[in-house]
């Protein structure tokens, strides 16, 4: 196989986030289940937008956040995801390229508008997300650039994109390219509800295709339908080469077949908005991994990147991540 | 005259800001004069946008920022300004209404896109602005809702909007309505370069029409072409009923024909981005004024609102301004 000329390529929903400060009462009044991501249609998106407070628009999308973080850490990164050629689509394309990411997915000339995620941040820094996926769900396997995926050491798949048929087809094409080129496949389970929607297929992916799995405690317990985190760890280590399991303020655990590393969470001076915590953990981890560093160090990079992202509004880094991890570079 | 049913209505450029962190070197390389606002065309806007880093989109516009702040402080506020019915125009309309402002200017169905201001924030928290004014400059006197202006205790005019002929016509119509209804006319000089462009007409406005003037030190010195701030104060107090003159960290001075109040600047824990400092000073001041409070207290409200806005990115308030001024309410 040829040497990888890209470190990580991500495939996921291309989304612009609209963030607003909110209250628990607002969430209850509008039937918005706290802390999770709800899929909504265009009409409901208009309705919630009309009710919510003034917003801030920042490029988002789970895998896109991860990939932007990886590029800002200094790895060579690419992203595949679908926006329309409208103003928000131009914003998305600008921001991911400005972060140093190779992004060449053609912008859709017609069809639904660029995806938007309305994010309500409550005073406890928790985020409640309602996503109108628009153009993001119009992705097809044609959007998967074979050369890009073949050239990447790791292809990172966002579980959320298993929802639309075109996303699934895109993933299957990418996984076949990875297998043919002996590249690594990484998957994030995205969300416990996403796991509920696709449990059987996700278990199959994890058992047979995925090399590096990202999940939080709730997602991994749900995937294997077990009672405890320890049982989930026991299950996952039989299948995946590496699993990086996040536990919020309890830190993270990295599990291989025969090793386990416990990583403490990085302290945060002021917890502002948890949007993107998992995404940036994956960014730090995959940056370290693609540089061939020890797994424990990969986990520490993840913890540092996650701590940066939850200290401000939005899921794209504001501080220089490279500087933040600098003291740990061997 | 009928009792005012609105406290303050503002007329200004309706703009969405695109904020990015930048360096002094970037400004120099791209011939962007630091600290001021440069008008650019669509091509130049595309060019600068392509070069600049990842952005954050937040509704802006000088008078629009002021009016949003006034509404959030609890006064009854309206805004007149032009956007197109594109995605950024919808964002602008949503955000100003969500702030509690009456905004009924029809969105343009065609013509240039919604105005954008590309704002480079350097590590010293200074902002350098390049504005593509698009739809904002398509405003005409037809957009001035006579009933709204007649119902407002104060009409607040953004000096920048004196640039396009339609803006000038809109101001003249609004000023005539104010005169006919014995309402107060307030003007902000906006920018020393804006004063340069329109000095003669601005002096005429200040001498003959404006009741409440807002300017910073540089602008008021430039307006009267004098050498010192003291000379400018001596000149302006002969003409305007009230002048509120801001001097950055030196605080502000409020001048009437026979009184002068010196207001100290509010301390800021962490200076992040000075975008909107003058706009929010005017918001605090006009809120106090429309509530009939002492001028010194109006100035303190201005100082507090300005301190809030420079402690974070963007020119729309994040904290609850009402709470911040609560301890001063008589």
- The answer to whether the CB atoms of B98 and A55 lie below 8 A apart is yes
pLDDT tens string, chain B, 330 residues long: the values are: 678 899 999 999 999 999 999 999 999 999 999 998 999 999 999 999 999 999 999 999 999 999 999 999 999 999 999 999 999 999 999 999 999 999 999 999 999 999 999 999 999 999 999 999 999 999 999 999 999 999 999 999 999 999 999 999 999 999 999 999 999 999 999 999 999 999 999 999 999 999 999 999 999 999 999 999 999 999 999 999 999 999 999 999 999 999 999 999 999 988 999 999 999 999 999 999 999 999 999 999 999 999 999 999 999 999 999 999 999 988
Cβ under 8 Å to B: A residues 284-323: 314, 316, 318
For A151-190, letters b (16+ CB in 10 Å) and e give bbbbbbbbbbbbbbebbbbbbebbbebbeebebbbbbbbb
Read off the DSSP letter of residue A12: -
Q: Is B21 on the interface with A (CB under 8 A)?
A: yes
pLDDT reported for residue B149:
98
- The answer to whether the CB atoms of B54 and A314 lie below 8 A apart is no
Q: Is B241 on the interface with A (CB under 8 A)?
A: no
- Between B54, B113, B314, which is nearest A316 by CB? B54
A21 interaction partners in chain B (CB closer than 8 Å) = 318
Would you tell me how many other CB atoms lie within 10 Å of the CB of residue A269? 7
- The answer to whether the CB atoms of B52 and A98 lie below 8 A apart is yes
Per the CB < 8 A criterion, the answer to whether B211 and B240 are in contact is yes
pLDDT reported for residue B36:
87
Q: Taking Cα atoms as reference points, which of B125, B149, B150, B75 lies closest to residue B272?
A: B125
Average pLDDT value over all residues in chain A: 96
- The answer to whether the CB atoms of A316 and B88 lie below 8 A apart is no
pLDDT reported for residue B2:
76
- Residue A1 pLDDT exceeds 90: no
Considering only alpha carbons, which residue of chain A is nearest residue B20?
A: A318
CB neighbours of A325 closer than 8 A, spacing ≥ 6?
A73, A284, A300, A301, A304, A305
- The answer to whether the CB atoms of B316 and A58 lie below 8 A apart is no
pLDDT (tens digit per residue) in A219-269: 999 999 999 999 999 999 999 999 999 999 999 999 999 999 999 999 998
pLDDT reported for residue A329:
86
pLDDT reported for residue B52:
96
Q: Taking Cα atoms as reference points, which of A154, A128, A132, A124 lies closest to residue A63?
A: A154
Question: Which sign does the torsion angle of CA B271, B276, B281, B283 carry?
Answer: negative
- Between A52, A96, A314, which is nearest B98 by CB? A52
What is the domain partition of chain B in residue ranges?
Answer: 6-12+62-107+135-328
Per the CB < 8 A criterion, the answer to whether B251 and B264 are in contact is yes
- Between A57, A68, A113, which is nearest B57 by CB? A57
Considering only alpha carbons, which residue of chain A is nearest residue B96?
A: A54
pLDDT (tens digit per residue) in A267-318: 998 899 999 999 999 999 999 999 999 999 999 999 999 999 999 999 999 9
The phi and psi torsions of B124 (rounded to 5 degrees) equal: -85, 10
Between B269 and A57, the higher pLDDT residue? A57
- Between A21, A56, A98, which is nearest B54 by CB? A98
B98 interaction partners in chain A (CB closer than 8 Å) = 20, 52-55
A314 interaction partners in chain B (CB closer than 8 Å) = 56
Residue pairs spanning A and B at CB distance below 8 A: 61
pLDDT reported for residue B1:
61
Q: Which two tokens stand for residue B36?
A: 């001021």
- Between B50, B54, B87, which is nearest A86 by CB? B87
- Residue B173 to residues A185, B88, B127, B297: CA-CA distances in angstroms? 65, 28, 33, 32
Q: Is A99 on the interface with B (CB under 8 A)?
A: yes
Q: Is A123 on the interface with B (CB under 8 A)?
A: no
- Between A55, A59, A316, which is nearest B95 by CB? A55
- Residue A230 to residues A13, A234, A241, A259: CA-CA distances in angstroms? 31, 6, 17, 14
A11 DSSP β-pair partners:
A80, A157
Q: Is A89 on the interface with B (CB under 8 A)?
A: no
- The answer to whether the CB atoms of A53 and B314 lie below 8 A apart is no
Pick the residue of A57, A67, A69 with the most B CBs within 10 A to test the interface with B by mutation.
A57
3.40.1160.10, 3.40.50.10260, 3.40.1190.20, 3.40.50.970: CATH of B6-12+62-107+135-328: 3.40.1190.20
The CA distance from A114 to A93, in Å, is 11
- CATH for A6-12+61-111+137-328 is 3.40.1190.20
- The answer to whether the CB atoms of B99 and A54 lie below 8 A apart is yes
What is the distance in angstroms between the Cα of B324 and the nearest Cα belonging to chain A? 17
- Here the ipTM equals 0.93
């Amino acid at each position: 196989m040829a040497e990888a000329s890209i470190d990580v390529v991500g495939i996921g929903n291309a989304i612009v986030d609209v963030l607003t400060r909110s209250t628990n009462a607002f969430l209850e009044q509008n039937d918005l289940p706290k802390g999770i991501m709800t899929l909504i249609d265009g009409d409901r998106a208009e309705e919630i937008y009309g009710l919510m407070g003034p917003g801030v628009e920042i490029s988002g999308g789970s895998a896109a956040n991860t990939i932007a973080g990886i590029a800002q850490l200094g790895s060579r990164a690419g992203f595949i995801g679908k926006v329309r050629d409208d103003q928000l689509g131009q914003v998305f394309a600008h921001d991911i390229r400005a972060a140093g990411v190779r992004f060449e997915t053609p912008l859709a000339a017609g069809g639904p508008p660029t995806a938007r995620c309305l994010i309500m941040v409550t005073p406890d820094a928790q985020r409640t997300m309602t996503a109108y996926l628009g153009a993001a769900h119009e992705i097809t396997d044609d959007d998967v650039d074979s050369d890009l995926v073949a050239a990447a050491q790791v292809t990172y798949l966002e579980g959320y994109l298993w929802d639309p048929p075109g996303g699934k087809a895109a993933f299957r094409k990418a996984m076949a390219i990875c297998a043919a080129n002996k590249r690594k496949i990484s998957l994030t389970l995205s969300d416990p509800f996403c796991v509920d929607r696709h449990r059987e297929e996700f278990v199959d992916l994890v058992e047979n295709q995925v090399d590096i799995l990202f999940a939080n405690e709730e997602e991994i317990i749900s995937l294997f339908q077990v009672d405890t985190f320890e049982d989930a760890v026991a299950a996952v280590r039989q299948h995946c080469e590496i699993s990086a399991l996040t536990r919020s303020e309890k830190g993270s655990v990295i599990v291989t077949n025969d090793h386990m590393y416990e990583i403490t969470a990085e302290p945060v001076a002021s917890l502002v908005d948890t949007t993107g915590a998992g995404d940036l953990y994956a960014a730090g981890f995959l940056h370290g991994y693609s540089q061939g560093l020890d797994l424990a160090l990969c986990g520490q990079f993840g913890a540092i990147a996650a701590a940066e992202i939850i200290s401000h509004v939005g899921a794209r880094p504001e501080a220089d991540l490279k500087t933040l991890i600098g003291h740990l570079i061997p």
